[in-house]
Amino acid sequence: MKKLIVIDGNNILYRAYFALPSMMTKSGVPTGAIYGFLSTLFKLVQEKPDYLLVAFDMHGPTFRHAQYDAYKAGRAATPDDLRAQVPLMKKLLGEMGIAVCECPRFEADDILGTFARIANEGGVDALLVTGDRDALQLIGPNTHVLMPKKTNETVEYDEALLMEQYGLTPARMPDLKGLMGDSSDNLPGIPGVGEKTARKLLDKYGTLENVLAHAGEEKGALQKKLLDGAESARMSYRMGIIDTHAPVQFGLEECAFEPARMAGGAPMMQELELRSLLSRLPKGEDVAPGAPLEGNKITHIRVDDAGKLAALAQSLSGARRLALHIEDTLSLSTDGATQYDVVLGATLLDAGLDENQVYTALRGALENEAIEKLVFDAKRFRHILARFGVKLAGVTFDAMLTDYLLHAIHPADTLKTLATERLGFSESGAAALLRLADSMLPELAEKGLTWLYKEVELPLEHVLFDMERIGFALDADVLKEMSAAFKARIDAIAEQIFSLAGERFNILSTKQLRTILFDKLQLPPWKKTKSGYSTDAETLETLADKHEIVPLIIEYRTLSKLCSTFLDGLVAVIRPESGRVHTRFNQNVTATGRISSTEPNLQNIPVRTELGREIRKAFVASKGNLLVDADYSQIELRLLAHMSGDEGMIRAFCEGDDIHRRTASEVFGVPFEAVTGMQRSAAKAVNFGIVYGISDFGLARNLGITRKEAARYIDLYLTRYPGIRRYMLESVEAGKRDGYVKTLMGRRRELPELQSSNYNTRSFGERVAMNMPIQGAAADIIKLAMVRVHQRLTCEGLRAKLILQIHDELIIDAPKDEAEHVAALLTECMQNVIQLSVPLRADVKIGRSWFETK
């Protein structure tokens, strides 16, 4: 049986807008709701509908307003940055060949109902996609309603599920609305009658009219409510009935869905910078994402036997440039017009070859430094080659890193996405890399990013590869001993919690914990979420002094997370052959330029608690070695002093003062020696907070003071350090004027947020304008230091290896006889990597374990 899918466009866009973080293009066009809508759409087309339609409300009054002029009165206005996305969404759907329907004086619900009726009359099943419960009345044998519930979760309602969850047939859903009303539509129903009571009444009497007819049989207050609210209920009932005969302007055949036509939306998706979604367009020869540009024809030559492989290897020996890419196929190109494809896997084996033979044959070209290599994600390619003992030399163009520097907030995750966006064709192989290099490298130069690319990002890729290969030694016995101790403590805490609660329950269950804290123990709830009162960490901290159970719950959660994530979790990822953990360093993820770590995330090892620090005892040097650890001291504050040019802060750093005590002395007007611990803590919070654009609200929460007092602290600080106030104002002005801000080394971060009509988004953009140049500069400095340290270790022939970068810290695994020399080398490289108006300081320590170096 054929299927029609009808989507409530306004409802799904609205839900996507509030479910996802703000997104926008470099020019400030909001796209978050469109992104969420498309994510839903791509899931739905996997159902392979025969017909597809998106219904939208039209601006202006409907026939319901004519019957009840307060209909939907008081509903909050649509946010400007959501309103702006509606016409864009309609246009994009048109480009994708998807029918869009609007109907004057009727709502999207009525369009859903009308097309469901038309479809059923034509023997077609209908699936209605909406978060509006009114649509449940449309359910029938051949009509279901798909409702989003939570992120990535949906529920498909049929008659059986509706009865199971509501105890009602579809026809009775308007009766339910008539009794309980609907605040979102400003329908009063019967005041004082909620869903629970309404369902009981319908279960008892069947219909709204029967409920009203038997109102006199109810008792007390309910009887009076039913008698007084009868007409209000009838009006609400009428307003809630969906009109299934809306005067739509076209029929079912105009909604015929052709997946191939969705590719027509690729250019607009590229324009809206929705890169990650391009690859989700339906695949097939007729659905290439974007029309090929003239001259993009590529000749493919299949290499599938030993003779062709040998000929290819010979032809590459004299190449000047060689582009390489590997997915299911290893592709190579020297001119961008011809691409050699080596099909790996079973096909290769059928030809009597294996991957080892392929890479061995190509070793000469791959390891030839004189041949410039063009790749996407060189580090990944190095790991592949390393399995066969082959090295990659001469990399001059890494499209992934180049794109990251050009588009830090929306970097492409695949070569196919990048080629589609910049070249307009779907080829994702080596030939595309040559064409990308010709357009992207000049753009790097135009934007002043060439030095950062050549001196920092490109050589850093090789450094990170070596670090991933080497790994960090872990003492599994230490982890297991700690795990056993933690679990014993967790069990003991659990028993204390159960005793105080008077019952056993799942402490990690938000729902069960909510019941214990707020229903049974009657603790005051602090904030509410969609699912009920919050039990998050912030809430528990505010309740810590209200009942002795709360600190125990906080400790239980902390220990449970440490145990599962960092103790048991780390044991699970130790490689048996090396006894080491090999994290993956991500070079193109954060918009500030910071390196991130995954699988496992070693940058997330907790440091603020004693228990967290204990975990570092398991991170040890190799046998016979010591760890040399260097940590930049207050690098972001030093950068703030340099970049702001504030004389007072520069002088404090140059004189080697305790910067937080000096700040407290200056701000609070007391002698340096007389600064109290509380004043120093306040100054420290403001110092670090300024770097991250802290507000009076955030500072008040951090220090446990009033917002008024926090605002006074910030004002005193900026008055005493006028250079910092000036820097903050000028950074925001530069962001608005140029559309981006940049670091000392030229790294850029586009600021479309400053163009947003949403106040919160603009405020976020202003904070980014102030703090990104500082955070980004710190990232650039640590990266350049890594490159310099790696070069020195290699040039001096030392056996010591750089094994970890975490925030502002570098760790080297060094033989004992090299440790002192490596410590001096590390200090020199880190402190002299860049010349500022204040000295950079690196604190270096040596120890057998990471714990000992801290």
- CA–CA dist 603, 583 (Å, integer): 10
Whole-number pLDDT of residue 681: 86
In three-state secondary structure terms, 129 is strand
In three-state secondary structure terms, 109 is helix
- DSSP code at position 847: E
Whole-number pLDDT of residue 283: 59
- CA–CA dist 404, 748 (Å, integer): 10
Whole-number pLDDT of residue 776: 96
In 271-380, at which residue ranges do the beta strands (DSSP E only) sit?
A: 299-302, 321-326, 329-333, 338-343, 372-375
- CA–CA dist 759, 763 (Å, integer): 6
753: Cβ contacts below 8 Å, ≥ 6 apart: 22, 24, 28, 761, 762, 764, 765, 768
Whole-number pLDDT of residue 287: 35
| Exposed / middle / buried, residue 320 (Cβ in 10 Å: 0-12, 13-18, 19+) | exposed
**Residues listed for the chain:** 854
Whole-number pLDDT of residue 150: 65
- CA–CA dist 640, 163 (Å, integer): 63
Locate all alpha helices (DSSP H) within 620-758, ordered by sequence. Answer: 635-644, 647-654, 659-668, 677-691, 696-703, 707-720, 722-738
Q: Which residues of the chain have pLDDT under 70?
A: 150-152, 283-296, 425-428, 530-531
**In this structure, is the dihedral angle defined by the CA atoms of residues 126, 131, 136 and 137, taken in order, positive or negative?**
negative
- CA–CA dist 521, 506 (Å, integer): 16
